[in-house]
Structure 1
Amino acid sequence: MSEFFVRRPIVAIVIAVLMTLVGGVCILALPIAQYPQIAPPEVQVRTHYTGADALTIEQSVAAPIEQQMSGVDNMNYMTSTNANNGDVRMQINFDVATDPNVDQILAQLRVSQAQSQLPADVNNFGVIVQKSTLAPLMLVSLTSPKQTYDNIFLANYAYINLVDQLTRVPGISNVQVFGAGQYAMRLWVKPDQLAKLGVTVPDIIAAVQKQNTVNPAGQIGSEPIPSGQKFTYTVRAQGRLQTPEEFGDIVVRANPDGSLLRVKDIARIDLGAQTYNVRGRLNGKPGAILALYQLPGTNAVKAAEGVRKLMAESRERFPADIDYVISLDQTRAVTEGIREIVKTLFAALALVALVVFIFLQGWRATLIPLCAVPVSLIGIFVLFPLFGFSINTLSLFGLVLAIGLVVDDAIVVVEAVERHIEEGIAPRDATLQAMREVSGPVIGIALVLSAVFIPTAFLPGITG
């Protein structure tokens, strides 16, 4: 094999150039992360049961989902957290070798089987099934420097104007807003009035649901029509209620004497937040915190760059006295770590060139290892997508260690060729003779080192 490439140097050059080009293309497409993806994939199931306590949620929501989820393919374990504010969160942990997309589909199928057993309020709210990440990639905080706006306004500004845009950034899977609940029409009922008039809270809920609807009103002058009629009119009726006054006019009950009992007679209505159990602050001032979660298998650095670009563009449209701060950026550790490893890589190349030049006493002998190292290192990135590797601190550290192996082989071959040239043999013949002598030892060195490291890839679980 070595004789084939020595006699056909153009073929060797073409292969080296192709390896470099394809490897460079793969580098641009590979995901970048601080560490390799070795954590088992998790799927999160969450929903909300308004007004229910933790025990009620466990019995009516969590238990039916857990019963259907039990036994799903490749599941390791599952945990559920039920809170007194009505929130339900379930984490399903799968085997590390599984595909997160397949795991999500399997979990979604099991949740759909349990939906017939869930309360109607839970089904109306919706059960969300999504791939889970343990920690957010970034935290973006909306603030009002002069405290013109409170945390409720800031959180709802984020819900309305930023969340949808951020979820469309490549690499961002989910955005959660902390700081306050979304805007909601709050009905603060008067218990003494309810008891006096014999009205229950479900009566009020039923009245609101029936009268706060979008009702189609049909058309006037639609087919069939008499000859000569030229227009058809679509009737648009009043849609959902919007102001506290409109909600106050909702009729709860018609009394026998003809009078009407309205919501404003038994409750105080105002526009507020859905929940008040979370308050966002930044440096002691009201704020809204946006937690951005990365889509598994994507490039974290590019995702963070996309978020920063979008927030910079959105700042131009912010109302007066609203600004944002990136409170947490996990990619800073990634970029700094990779930058240090790249520095180490170039330092290693410089030391290799210096050592080779000192001992071989020739620029031509020094240039050969320096050309072999970049071709070998860049070409190896072609195999990264095949094995599911990403560009991370561990993979780059492995490349730094591989420099020694590549350089050792190059020095052995170059030194053998130089020795034969000094004996008066022509360069091509010297190369052929040197390769016949050192091919076996070079291959043996590579096999010995491979025998040390390759078996670790067959270890089961996260260790392998």
Structure 2
Amino acid sequence: MPQFFIDRPVFAWVVAFFILLAGALAIPQLPVAQYPTVAPPQIEIYAAYPGASAQTLDESVVSLIEQELNGADHLLYFSSQSSLGSATITATFQPGTNPELAQVDVQNRLKAVEPRLPQAVTQQGLQVEKVSAGFLLLITLTSSDGRLNDVALSDYLARNVMNEIRRLDGVGKAQLYGAERAMRIWLDPQKLIGFNLTPADVNAAVAAQNAQVPAGSIGDLPNPASQEITATILVKGQLSSPEEFADIVLRANPDGSTVRIGDVARVEVGSQEYQYGTRLNGKPSTAVGVQLSPGPTR
């Protein structure tokens, strides 16, 4: 065969030209990508259940969500991890699956299971994010002079940095290993028993007396023609200091005395949760883990 083309060089050139032309015409149809997607897309579901143990989360939250995820289109498998107060479920789909459609499918299935979840979980909300396996990088923030503790650093990151990181092109998830500041009410069980109260009573009192209530307005329509003033009534909204929370009334006794939160608990501004602890070179710090978004970026 090689000798055939050697003896007929013109014919060989014509065949080579047609092969070159066919290849050039086929180039636009080739499935190529600058950064082809190799890893299967993953959808991560995060559920928070403050105060619940890992077993409680697994039985009342994770198992229900996993049952609903069964049968999702192009689902390969899912894995879950439960810890004190939170759980993470990662659903892995077949390579090539559109992560946007997979996320919509997962969210629709979560809507069906939400009525069966504990109220505390639905109040916190279920977070559904598109992520890639593994972390791209870990960012650590610390105070060079040691004036800020880990709670202050975490609160600064959560309020000023996290949203900027999440808006970056290609970032699927930014996880803060810390928490924002929050009002902490540390109950004394012995004092609760002494006043014949339960944590549920404290919960109900805080929900009732720490609410933003619209007070309406004075002289609003319909009003008489002689009405000269219309004013919106401004009332104090949600409580903002430990002293105000400690002054919440839990019970009014027949003799006129009252039992307040300060009588059965210690109130302070602390971290929303104490699940994570980060140190850098022995100094208090906080960290952010960044995961890529599956699929090509803009």
- State which of 220, 223, 237 in structure 1 corresponds to 2:221: 223
Q: How far off is 1:147 after superposition?
A: 0.7
CA contact (8 A) 2:99 2:295 kept: no
Q: How far off is 1:154 after superposition?
A: 0.7
Q: 1:93 to 1:173 in 2, by over 3 A?
A: closer
3-state DSSP of counterpart to 2:164: helix
1:42 equivalent in alignment to 2:42: yes
Identify the residue that residue 278 of structure 1 maps to in structure 2.
276
**Matches of residues 284-363 of structure 1 in structure 2 within 5 Å?**
284-299=282-297
3-state DSSP of counterpart to 1:46: strand
Identify the residue that residue 160 of structure 1 maps to in structure 2.
159
The CA distance in 2 between the partners of 1:276 and 1:222, in whole Å, is: 48
Identify the residue that residue 385 of structure 1 maps to in structure 2.
none
The CA distance in 1 between the partners of 2:76 and 2:106, in whole Å, is: 13
Letter in 2 for 1:206: A
1:263 equivalent in alignment to 2:296: no
The CA distance in 1 between the partners of 2:246 and 2:47, in whole Å, is: 29
Aligned-CA RMSD value: 2.3
CA contact (8 A) 2:192 2:198 kept: yes
The CA distance in 2 between the partners of 1:132 and 1:172, in whole Å, is: 8
CA contact (8 A) 1:76 1:94 kept: yes
1:68 equivalent in alignment to 2:68: yes
3-state DSSP of counterpart to 1:162: helix
CA contact (8 A) 1:186 1:269 kept: yes
Letter in 1 for 2:162: V
1:189 equivalent in alignment to 2:187: yes
The structure in which a higher percent of residues are helix is: 1
Deviations 1:435-457 (A, max 9, x none): xxxxxxxxxxxxxxxxxxxxxxx
1:146 equivalent in alignment to 2:116: no
Letter in 2 for 1:61: V
Identify the residue that residue 249 of structure 2 maps to in structure 1.
251
Q: How far off is 1:137 after superposition?
A: 2.2
Deviations 1:117-164 (A, max 9, x none): 001100000011111222222322211111111111011001111111
The CA distance in 2 between the partners of 1:187 and 1:239, in whole Å, is: 19
The CA distance in 2 between the partners of 1:298 and 1:230, in whole Å, is: 62
Identify the residue that residue 100 of structure 1 maps to in structure 2.
99
Letter in 2 for 1:285: K
CA contact (8 A) 2:72 2:105 kept: yes
The CA distance in 2 between the partners of 1:278 and 1:54, in whole Å, is: 16
Deviations 1:202-233 (A, max 9, x none): 11011111111110000111011222333311
Q: How far off is 1:104 after superposition?
A: 1.1
CA contact (8 A) 1:31 1:297 kept: no
The CA distance in 2 between the partners of 1:88 and 1:142, in whole Å, is: 25
CA contact (8 A) 1:41 1:100 kept: yes
CA contact (8 A) 2:76 2:92 kept: yes
The CA distance in 1 between the partners of 2:186 and 2:264, in whole Å, is: 9
CA contact (8 A) 2:47 2:125 kept: yes
Deviations 1:392-426 (A, max 9, x none): xxxxxxxxxxxxxxxxxxxxxxxxxxxxxxxxxxx
Letter in 2 for 1:77: Y
Letter in 2 for 1:60: S
**Matches of residues 176-215 of structure 1 in structure 2 within 5 Å?**
176-178=175-177, 180-215=178-213
**Normalised by the size of structure 1, how large is the TM-score?**
0.56
Q: How far off is 1:31 after superposition?
A: 5.7
Deviations 1:361-381 (A, max 9, x none): xxxxxxxxxxxxxxxxxxxxx
**Normalised by the size of structure 2, how large is the TM-score?**
0.86
The CA distance in 1 between the partners of 2:115 and 2:274, in whole Å, is: 31
Q: How far off is 1:107 after superposition?
A: 1.0
Letter in 1 for 2:75: M
Identify the residue that residue 170 of structure 1 maps to in structure 2.
169
Instruction: Please list every run of 5 or more consecutive structure 1 residues that lacks an aligned counterpart in the other structure.
Output: 7-11, 303-464
